[in-house]
Structure formats: C-alpha cells, structure tokens
A and B are shown apart, each in its own frame.
Chain A
Amino acid sequence: MGSEPMAVVLFPNTQTAVRAEQLCRAEGIQAKLIPTPRHLSSTCGLAVRIPGTEGERVRRLLEGARIPHGEICEL
C-alpha cells in the first residue's frame, strides 16, 4: 500500500472536497482529505488523495455529479 502510486484531486474549496471524498467512498474508492500540496496549487484548504489507478474513474464520477474540480495530479 505504501508503495502504491497515489494521485491528488484539487478542488476550489473545502466543502467541495468533502463532498467529493464522500462520493468516492460511497463508490468504494479509498479517498482521503489532505491539505492541498503547495507545489500543486496556491489554494489553501483541502484536496482529495486517491489511488493513482482510480484517476479516470474519479474523473467520471465527479463529472457525473457535476462537482467542480481541478486537475488530477499524480504524486
């Protein structure tokens, strides 16, 4: 698990990130709220870390629920 590649989804604000995390978890995706890594964005607040292999699935999920989000960045 520790060596598994991870990705981070950026959100415009904290509450959107919480909503996205809940949606991912409801679909069985191991999502976790983390502080936004400063090298990825100057936005303060939260991002959602997901397994790197789930990027495409998460993107489709967020777009289906019309949740505004930024890039999905590999870590």
Chain B
Amino acid sequence: MIYFDNAASGWPKPPEVLQAMADFMERVGANPGRSGHRLAVEAARIVYAAREGLAKLFGASDPLRIVFGLNATEALNLALAGLLMPGDHVITSSMEHNSVMRPLRALEAKGVAVSVVHCSPEGVLDPRAIEAEIRPTTRLIALIHASNVVGTLMPVAEVGRIARHYGLLLLVDAAQTAGACPIDVEADAIDLLAFTGHKALLGPQGTGGLYIGPRVGTADLHPLLRGGTGSRSEEEQQPDFLPDRYESGTLNGVGLAGLAAGARYLLRVGVATVRAHEMALTRQLLAGLERIPGVVVYGTRDAARQTATVSFNVEGMDPSEVGMRLDEEFEVMCRVGLHCSPGAHRTIGTYPTGTVRWGLGYLNTAAEVDAALNALETIVRRR
C-alpha cells in the first residue's frame, strides 16, 4: 500500500504521536483550562507544550500567540471574518483554496472589496502584481504559502516586505507547508499564520490554529466564538487577552497532545531535513513522470520551487479513472479532481476536469516513488 494523499491528510503518524494521545486518554483526560487539580495542571502543560513546539517551528517568540481551533479553515475564517469590515479591501491570489475564497466571497457580499491577483499557469505569483493592487482602503494581503494543487511556493517573504512597507497585514495559509517547509513569522513579516495539525505537522485531525502576531490588536480581531474560557469567570464579556479571546469552550486536549508530540518529532528531526527529503522525492517523481509518454505534469516542475505535491494528467484518461485504477489495481492512494481549489485549476488550465494529485510526505520513501511510477506506467500503457 502506498499513501500519496498527504496533501489531504498526513498518514501514517510517528508512533510517538499515537502514544502521546493514548497516554492523554489513559492517564490525564482532564480539562486543560479549567480546574486546578493535578490532572488539570498536567493537561494544561500538555496544551502549552503544543503551543511552545509550534512557536519554535514558526519562529514565534511568544507561545501564547498561537491560538488553537479545529483546523486551518477555522483559523482562516477567524482571521478574515474577524478582521475585515465593510469598506476594507483585501488582496489575494488566484491560487487560493476555498477555505480562503469562500469566506472572502461571503465578506464581499457584505461590502468588503476583494482583488484576486492572477498567477502564471505554473502557479507562480509576481509580488509586484500584489503591490499594483494596493489602494488606500487595503487592509490585508491573504496568501496561500504553497498551492495545494501543484505545490508551487509563493514569495511570502517578498510579499511580507511589501505589506510592511505599506502598513498592511499579511495572512498566510500554511495548511500545505507547516512542518514541511521552513517558516519564520518574524523574519518573513507574517502577521497571521493559519495552520492545520493533521498534515505535515504530523498531529491528528481536529487540530489547527492561528498564530496572531504583535501587529494585530485583539480589539481589531473579533472572535468567531464566545464562551467559557476558564478565565475572568466573573465577567460576561469575552476576555481581551491571548489565547483566551479566541479559545472558547474546551480544547481538543487529546488532539493537542498528539500535535505536541508531532511538533517535538519535527523539532528533533529538523524541518530542513524534512524539506530536503521531500525535495529529493519530488525531484525523483518529476523525473519519472517526464519519462512516461502521455503524462502531462503541471506546476513549476522544479522541486526547489514547490512542495512534495505534484499534479498531472494522462492524455485520453479522466483523472478519476486514473485514481481509481491506481487504488484498485496497485493500492496507490491519491486525490483526483479539483481539490477544493477551482481558482487554482482555472489558473493552471485544468478546470473543470481537474488533475491527479500525488501528495508526498516525510514518511514516504524513494522505493514507494519508484513503485507508484511503475504502476502509473502500466496504467498508461494499457489505456
């Protein structure tokens, strides 16, 4: 069995992630933010360890600027709906996932102006095109860190410099990159970083969150939910401090125990090592795909300019048929279609058919890449 669907959800997880979750359920189990007894304190320490690990991975000096939620989608909704008011202008790219585009289209209907900067057919963004869209009412630039369709990396640091120069905020969607590519929120001038726990961060589904930088005032970022936080219990107003303002209700303690273990694993291995391994696999995969006649590869086709996510099509075959045969005949698992990103597929010219997407992860091997390429070659030959 070959799992090439890490861009949708990372699997398998390192054994220590499973162990940390089992340990939380067996030994801890209490509410991480409410009571003061020893099990509650232990749960609070575990949640803090997740914050601290992620802060280290993202180059953030204050772990309390990491707020937890369900996933990257919730974090992106918090950032966009919490920040943007009617009359504000936001700039984004044509490569965004629906987790950015759908909230933005809903905000547009309420009077937020949205500019979508077009990217090249390889998914490449020219930062000057962002700069050209800036208006007096521009408040935010919202940018995917790497395309979930073709893996193309966006020039986040350059856009960060532009954002700072014009006094704008920068929101980065790191669903595809957190844990897989080096991220430094302070060096790259990222004000808001949305991440998911269950992909390259190696944690479980149902974990994710938002880094909120010091340039974002809590008064300017409205919470999505309000409720119990275990703090200021005498008040019926939502707290104004981090992380409580954005963490109402009991957190996913067991999930965050797993995410903390995933972060520890990555800090031990090093994100640079993860990136180097994934680049080597991507280079091998791209070279192998180019050798199969009738296979069309999308994106930069340059491992250094993309994540380990590769999209392709087979001439004369529907992507869903390729995906089904890979699964049924060769036990190669991947995702086909539009990948929740119609704009990205329009940009690369594959709308509405979509592509076959192989999303590789750190735990994949060169032998798996060879085996999957052989499987694909057999399907192409028999078509």
Contacts and interface: CB of A to CB of B under 8 A. Distances in A.
Interface string B224-235: 000001111110
B34 A45 contact: yes
Contacts of A19: 48, 63-64
A34 B41 CA distance: 8
A17 B45 CA distance: 10
A13 B34 contact: no
B33 A15 contact: yes
B189 to A, nearest CB: 20
A43 B233 contact: yes
A3 interface: no
Give the dominant DSSP class at B's interface. Answer: loop
Contact of B231 (A18, A22, A34, A44): A44
Nearest to A46: B36
A51 to B, nearest CB: 19
Contacts of B278: none
B36 A34 contact: yes
Interface string B220-245: 00000000011111100001010110
B48 A13 contact: no
Kindly name the residue among A12, A18, A22 whose own CB sees the greatest number of chain B CB atoms within 10 A. A18
A68 B241 contact: yes
Contact of A44 (B47, B62, B230, B239): B230
Contacts of A46: 36, 41, 44
A64 to B, nearest CB: 12
Contacts of A43: 231-234
A22 B33 CA distance: 17
A66 B62 CA distance: 9
Contacts of A15: 33, 44, 47-48, 51, 64, 243-244
B273 interface: no
B232 A14 contact: no
Given A19-B48, A43-B231, A45-B231, A13 B41 contact: no
Interface in A3-22: 12-19, 22
Contacts of B243: 13, 15
B61 to A, nearest CB: 9
Kindly name the residue among A35, A36, A44, A68 whose own CB sees the greatest number of chain B CB atoms within 10 A. A44
A45 B44 CA distance: 10
A18 B45 contact: yes
A23 B361 CA distance: 35
Nearest to A18: B48
B382 interface: no
B37 interface: yes
B32 A14 contact: yes
Contact of B241 (A13, A35, A36): A13
A36 B36 contact: yes
Nearest to B232: A43
A17 B44 CA distance: 10
B19 interface: no
B378 interface: no
B120 interface: no
Nearest to B228: A44
Interface string B53-67: 000000000111000
Contact of A13 (B33, B51, B62): B33
A62 interface: no
Given A12-B241, A15-B47, A15-B243, A35 B37 contact: yes
18 contacts: A12-B239, A13-B230, A13-B244, A14-B230, A14-B231, A15-B33, A15-B47, A18-B48, A33-B36, A34-B36, A35-B36, A42-B234, A43-B231, A43-B233, A44-B35, A44-B36, A44-B233, A46-B44
Interface of A: 12-19, 22, 33-36, 42-46, 66, 68
Given A13-B33, A33-B44, A44-B233, 18 more contacts: A12-B231, A13-B230, A13-B231, A13-B239, A13-B241, A13-B244, A14-B32, A14-B230, A14-B231, A17-B44, A18-B44, A18-B48, A43-B233, A43-B234, A44-B34, A45-B36, A45-B230, A46-B44
